[in-house]
Amino acid sequence: MNHETVKRIIINELLVGSNVPSNSYHTVSTEWSDGTKSDVLYVPTEVSEDQPPILIEIQNTVDQTFMIRLIQKLCSCV
C-alpha cells in the first residue's frame, strides 16, 4: 500500500475527477492514542476540500463493532 504505483491507483480511484497528483500525498504513521494502528494513512501535503486525508483499513470482516471503533478513533483525533 506504500508503493508509489499502488498509492497512485488508490488516490486516482478515490478522488476521481479531482486531478490531484498522487505525489501530493505522503504516508504517515497511524498509531492511535490507544496504541492500535491502522493499515495506511495518506495525508496531503496541502489540506483542502479537494485533498482529504485517506485512511485505508484492511479488514476480513466489517461489522458494526468495527465501524463504531473506527469512527471513535477518527473522532478522537479531531
Q: Where are the alpha helices (DSSP H) in the chain?
A: 4-14, 64-77
Rounded CA-CA distance 39/59 in Å is 9
Rounded CA-CA distance 6/36 in Å is 24
Residues 10-18: what's their mean pLDDT?
A: 82
Segment 24-37, tens digit of pLDDT: 888 888 887 778 78
| pLDDT for the residue 22 | 66
Rounded CA-CA distance 30/16 in Å is 25
Segment 21-77, tens digit of pLDDT: 768 888 888 887 778 788 888 999 887 877 888 888 888 888 999 888 878 877 766
